[in-house]
């Protein structure tokens, strides 16, 4: 566990002090108060645990957004119910632009497909400010297991007379769990899901041999792969990831993993006045346009995503809801 938390600190490189400033709302640079937003600290709610890829993305973006807006930025973790607890907090907050939320594939399109009785609709009640990046999901095994390929993992799972192999996930209905279900369905592997509170606990279980495999976003494991503690035997999405030499699952004959990269962005309530939304979007775009910011995101394992207009964001979210809904349906996963 200590090794993994050390890796999480190293993932952020020399940014812990910036993350600390964001986390405790230290004073922002003395710039003119931007029109369109009230005075006060801006809160980015992360609806997942500290150390998650969502958390990493928020703490990378927060200092740059603070510099652009001239207002303090606070990062607040509010995990629970697959992200719906934190998202609900933002939707219920005063729509003044001071309360934002870090959203991802899991927290908007997957939850829209999973929860039939949500008191809110993330796709309807939120509007995107901008996307920080995307990342493949990597199919991970422990380096100590000796498994070097997907074929070897499948062979292990199908040994006659053996119980189902165990995989870890952050919970039913998460992108990682759905990916584990999908690879099991496509390969015929008998499997058992073991859920953990967050990525740190799940990855630790993988390294200690409690489970045989799992999916993880590249930023959460890239350092552990480089240190020789974990091995990836395949990644989702159409392009090779920053994990050198790891094949895509599409290239291994599983085209269903073509669109399962995980994206991360900042959203606000749709009821925020147009002037405030425009100011936030402009600040976010400028923050991500900087060379240093691009390099920090790339080092952490995030791929860039093209800028989009608000209408293009809405169309993208709709297409993602349709895609993940079909995967949820075919997997048989339900939560209510």
Residue pLDDT, tens place only, 49-105 = 888 889 999 999 999 999 999 999 999 999 988 788 999 999 999 999 999 999 998
- Fold topology of 137-257: D-Maltodextrin-Binding Protein; domain 2 (3.40.190)
Q: What is the DSSP string of 100-117?
A: EEEEETIIIIIHHHH-TT
Q: Which of 5, 94, 85, 96 is nearest to 45 (CA)?
A: 85
Is there a contact between 129 and 100 (Cβ–Cβ < 8 Å)?
yes
61, 132 in Cβ contact below 8 A?
Answer: yes
pLDDT of residue 7: 53
DSSP-derived 3-state class of residue 203: helix
Q: Pinpoint the residues of the chain covered by CATH 3.40.190.10.
A: 137-257
- Evaluate if residue 228 carries a pLDDT over 80: yes
- CATH class, 2-135+263-331 region: alpha beta
pLDDT in tens, 139-163: 999 999 999 999 999 999 999 999 9
In the chain, CATH 3.40.190.150 sits at 2-135+263-331
**What is the reported pLDDT for 162?**
93
Q: What is the mean pLDDT of residues 209-218?
A: 94
Query: Sorting pLDDT into bands at 50, 70 and 90, what band is 16?
Result: very low
| Average pLDDT score over residue span 215-222 | 90
The answer to whether 302 touches 135, Cβ cutoff 8 Å, is yes
Query: For the stretch 160-192, what's the b/e string if a residue is b when 16 or more beta carbons lie within 10 angstroms of its beta carbon?
Result: eeeeebbbbbbbbbbbbbbbbbbbbeebebebe
Distance CA 316, CA 51 (A): 27
């Amino acid at each position: 566990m200590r090794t993994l938390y050390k890796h999480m600190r190293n993932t952020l490189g020399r940014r812990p002090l910036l993350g600390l400033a964001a986390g405790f709302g230290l004073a922002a640079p003395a710039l003119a108060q931007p029109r369109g937003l009230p005075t006060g600290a801006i809160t980015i709610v992360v609806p997942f645990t500290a150390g998650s890829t969502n958390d990493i993305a928020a703490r990378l973006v927060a200092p740059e957004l603070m510099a652009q807006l001239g207002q303090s930025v606070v990062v607040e973790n509010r995990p629970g119910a697959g992200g719906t607890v934190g998202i609900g907090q933002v939707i219920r907050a005063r729509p003044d632009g001071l309360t934002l939320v870090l959203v991802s594939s899991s927290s908007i399109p997957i939850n829209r497909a999973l929860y039939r009785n949500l008191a809110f609709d993330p796709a309807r009640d939120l509007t995107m400010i901008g996307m920080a990046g995307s990342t493949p999901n990597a199919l991970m095994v422990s380096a100590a297991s000796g498994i070097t390929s997907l074929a070897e993992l499948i062979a292990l799972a199908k040994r006659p007379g053996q119980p189902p192999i165990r995989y870890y996930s952050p919970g039913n209905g998460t992108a990682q769990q759905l990916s584990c279900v999908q690879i099991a369905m496509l390969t015929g592997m008998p499997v058992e899901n073991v859920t953990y509170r967050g990525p740190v606990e799940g990855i630790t279980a993988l390294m200690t041999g409690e489970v045989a495999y799992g999916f993880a976003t590249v930023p959460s494991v890239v350092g552990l792969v480089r240190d020789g503690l974990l091995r990836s035997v395949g990644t989702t999405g159409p392009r090779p990831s920053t994990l050198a030499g790891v094949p895509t699952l599409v290239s291994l004959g599983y085209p269903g993993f073509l669109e399962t990269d995980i994206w991360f962005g900042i959203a606000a309530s749709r009821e925020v006045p147009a002037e405030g939304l425009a100011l936030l979007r402009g600040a976010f775009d400028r923050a991500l346009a900087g060379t240093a910011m691009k390099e920090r995101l790339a080092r952490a394992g995030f791929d860039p995503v093209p800028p989009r207009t608000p209408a293009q964001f809405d169309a993208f979210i709709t297409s993602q809801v349709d895609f993940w809904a079909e995967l949820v349906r075919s997997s048989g996963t339900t939560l209510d």
